[in-house]
Chains A and B, each alone.
Chain A
Amino acid sequence: MKARTLLAALTAAASLFATFAFTSEASATTYSVYLHGRNTDGTPSGWGYWSYQRPGTNSVVINYNGRSHISSANPTVRAGLNTYCTGDNYCYVAAHSAGCAHLQYAIDKYGPYNIIWVDGAGCASGGTELSDDWSWTQGDDLASDLKTGTVRSMYNHNNMRGAWFYLFGGAKGGAAAMLITGQDDGAVGYASSLGRSKTGDFCNPGDSWWLDTCDEVGMGTSTGNRYSYHYVYYRDSSENKDHYVGSGSGGIPSPMFSDMGAYAY
């Protein structure tokens, strides 16, 4: 009787273990997580911010209040990351503009997450000189966070816990070029979008001319003044990408979309 009870218990335990193991394996999923940028309407709905584009495996979107302070809205971002990028779940992340700052803030202060890599287009994690403009700053709380010194002092930009940020920087500045230092996409300069750990006049190779010199940004990890785990993956040498999703192939999110579609699976 004792032996039969023991056998039954062992069988039940084995069955339970097998069920758990199967469930655990079956529930492991790799996601492509999309993190939007500043949104003056507040929290976007569905995939609207992204113009309904969602390349990559099991694409999901984290929508947070895009006009609140980073620290105020970040719990929503962390809740999303906890759902898609922890435990048995792994993720690629596509972040745009202030979405990069949100992600980095979460990783530094509340990580770790199971992030394989990050594609970051027009990252505003180094801020923008536009935020030095009083009227722009007064527009919303997130805009005031994006003053260069403020967002750079907010968290440790180097502490990405092993996850590489592949950066896409645009240089079609348009009218805002007067206001932003160095090459820019109309919202942020290369100092931010290409992961420079200093502010200043960062530019494409060949831009320096006569006495008007600038710090030319190399691809990949090839030049200094770079935050750790920040990688120059797309540098807009031809100056034909602006900041915005809505610009289609003329926006810096465009090559990021194609990259997610090709590699995030």
Chain B
Amino acid sequence: MSRERPAAGPLRLWLFVIGGILILGLGLLWLRSGVKPTAPSSDEAARGGLHPEETPPGHGNAATPPPQSKHGKRKPGDNVPASGDDDELVWVDPATLTPEQIAERRAKRLRMAAQGHRDYYRYPPSSRPLSDNEDLLVRDHVEPEIRKLKRGDDGEKGEVRLELWQNKMFLREGDEASFRVKATTEKGPVPITVVEATLVTLPDEGTAPQDLGPLSVTDDGSPPDEISGDGVPTGGFVASQSRLGSYRGNLRVMLKLESEGEQGTATLNFVYTGAEPGRFTGEVSEALEDGSLALYFGLELKEAGRYEIRARLYDKTDRPIALLNFNQDLEAGKQKARLLAFGKLLRDEGAEGPYTIRDIEGWRLLSGTYPDREMMQPPEDYTTKQPYSLDQFSDAEYSDPQAEAMIEHIEKAQKTPPPAPSN
């Protein structure tokens, strides 16, 4: 067992006792009624990931379900499917399969590979459904880290669970960083105290970290804290040039924490990327091109290089539709980044204009260095001047010669004979 479990508190112990009595009672009733355990149906076995004819011993079509302890642990058996699984293709020890079964499974994976490329290349890489990129819906989103507060080596497990939230990961010169710490137990949210907070640099290996001093963390409603006295302390700092000088790289917030009698430490990481390599000018032009909507965002660049720009397109009903990506080399000076709202994607989503482009972000992408980017200040949202209706857009799929060659190769690969046994 490797999943952490909290120690049983008084409430859990009572629930355990009451639950035990209930289970015992139900068990007695079941024995008296003479009901036998029900074997899983062949449908269930198939849902579990295997065709009945290729199910090796111990893989899903046993007469009884895998036994479990009170902690829900299964007895040994590799990759055991469960009743909730609904996909057919899962790993099965090839040593238990016949050559024909292996060939059939390989053909299935190759069909899936071809279909994967077909599905992806319906739209260009620069214009993707936001439904396929849910974690990127909001600019600067950093997935909070969730872990136990107490991580001692004494083997004693804690009850308090931390959620470490931060407003962004990458900081350009002058950006404000903020973070907050939430604590919960099984009873719900509990207050947590930040005993100490400091900011340090975490430079590349071989260079010692530098202590940048203590940080103020409050729960009094003063910015960046949102609600006074809610038990969720919040802190922040400004990534100022005067403080950081020529440093570029990780900035770690080091926290000493206390909650519900437990003590522990935690860190949050930010990446300082220094001065802006250029800026959005605020000028945007729009054009219908080959059945799609092209949006040209003006840039004034101090540095030439590869630029990544990302934005989210919403339709007239404020529905998130598309993730727009730009990733190209640009020269220094006045430039335009072309963000493409692909016609077929707009039509497939039933997305009528006018469109609003939100959460626009951009950076110069650096190769072979850390940090790998220099952030630019995000521009304001933009709403298209024209209303646009779906019949103005093409319903044609994107065409990529390399993807087509790839699909053709995968389809041919199904006929490749297996290699001769090496012995």
- Residues of B240-294 at the interface with A, using a CB-CB cut-off of 8 Å, are 250, 252, 254, 265-269, 271
Q: Which of B73, B79, B371 contacts A234 (CB 8 A)?
A: B79
Other than the given A134-B254, A158-B128, A205-B84, 6 more pairs (CB < 8 A) read A72-B369, A114-B405, A144-B202, A222-B84, A233-B90, A240-B78
User: What is the bound-complex CA distance between A227 and B91, given in angstroms?
Assistant: 20
Mostly helix, strand, loop or mixed at chain A's interface? loop
Q: Which of A132, A228, A234 contacts B145 (CB 8 A)?
A: A132
Given known A150-B169, A198-B143, contact A75–B368 (CB-CB < 8 A): yes
Chain B residues whose CB sits within 8 angstroms of the CB of A71 once the complex forms: 366-372
Q: CB distance B144 to A149 under 8 Å?
A: yes
Q: CB distance A210 to B16 under 8 Å?
A: yes
Closest B residue, CB atoms, query A170: B2
Chain A residues whose CB sits within 8 angstroms of the CB of B76 once the complex forms: 238, 240
Chain A 171-190 near chain B by CB (<8 Å), digits 1 or 0: 11110111111111110000
Most A-side CB within 10 Å, residue of B3, B19, B89: B3
Say yes or no: is A197 at the interface (Cβ < 8 Å to chain B): yes
Q: CB distance A116 to B410 under 8 Å?
A: yes
Instruction: List the one stretch of B114-122, B211-219, B348-356 in contact with chain A.
Output: B114-122
Q: CB distance A183 to B3 under 8 Å?
A: yes
Q: CB distance B12 to A211 under 8 Å?
A: yes
Q: CB distance A134 to B113 under 8 Å?
A: no
Question: For chains A and B in complex, what number of residue pairs have CB atoms within 8 angstroms?
Answer: 293
User: What is the bound-complex CA distance between A111 and B48, given in angstroms?
Assistant: 34
Q: Residues on B close to A: CB < 8 A?
A: 1-6, 12, 15-16, 19, 48-49, 66, 68, 70-91, 93-95, 97, 102, 105-106, 109-110, 112-113, 116-121, 125, 128, 132-136, 142-148, 151, 155, 157, 164, 166, 169-170, 186, 202, 204-205, 209, 250, 252, 254, 265-269, 271, 308, 325, 327, 365-372, 402-403, 405-406, 409-410, 413, 416, 418-419
- List the 6 shortest-distance A-B pairs measured between CB atoms, nearest first: A220-B87, A173-B2, A162-B120, A71-B372, A205-B82, A162-B117
Q: CB distance B143 to A149 under 8 Å?
A: yes
User: What is the bound-complex CA distance between A265 and B102, given in angstroms?
Assistant: 12
Q: CB distance A206 to B202 under 8 Å?
A: no
User: What is the bound-complex CA distance between A196 and B368, given in angstroms?
Assistant: 28
Q: CB distance B84 to A218 under 8 Å?
A: yes
Chain B residues whose CB sits within 8 angstroms of the CB of A117 once the complex forms: 109, 112-113
Say yes or no: is A255 at the interface (Cβ < 8 Å to chain B): yes
Q: CB distance A147 to B269 under 8 Å?
A: yes
Say yes or no: is A263 at the interface (Cβ < 8 Å to chain B): yes
Say yes or no: is A27 at the interface (Cβ < 8 Å to chain B): no
Chain B residues whose CB sits within 8 angstroms of the CB of A238 once the complex forms: 74-78, 80
Given known A211-B15, A220-B88, A228-B133, contact A237–B79 (CB-CB < 8 A): yes
User: What is the bound-complex CA distance between A31 and B88, given in angstroms?
Assistant: 27
A sample of 29 inter-chain contacts (CB < 8 A) reads: A72-B369, A112-B403, A129-B145, A134-B254, A138-B202, A149-B143, A158-B128, A158-B132, A158-B136, A159-B125, A163-B117, A173-B2, A177-B4, A185-B2, A197-B134, A203-B3, A205-B82, A205-B84, A207-B72, A212-B186, A219-B48, A219-B90, A220-B49, A222-B87, A232-B87, A233-B89, A237-B77, A255-B93, A263-B105
Chain A residues whose CB sits within 8 angstroms of the CB of B170 once the complex forms: 153
Q: CB distance A132 to B6 under 8 Å?
A: no
Chain A residues whose CB sits within 8 angstroms of the CB of B82 once the complex forms: 204-206, 216, 218-219, 237
Q: CB distance A221 to B87 under 8 Å?
A: yes
Report the minimum CB–CB distance from B15 to chain A (whole Å): 6
User: What is the bound-complex CA distance between A134 and B151, given in angstroms?
Assistant: 12
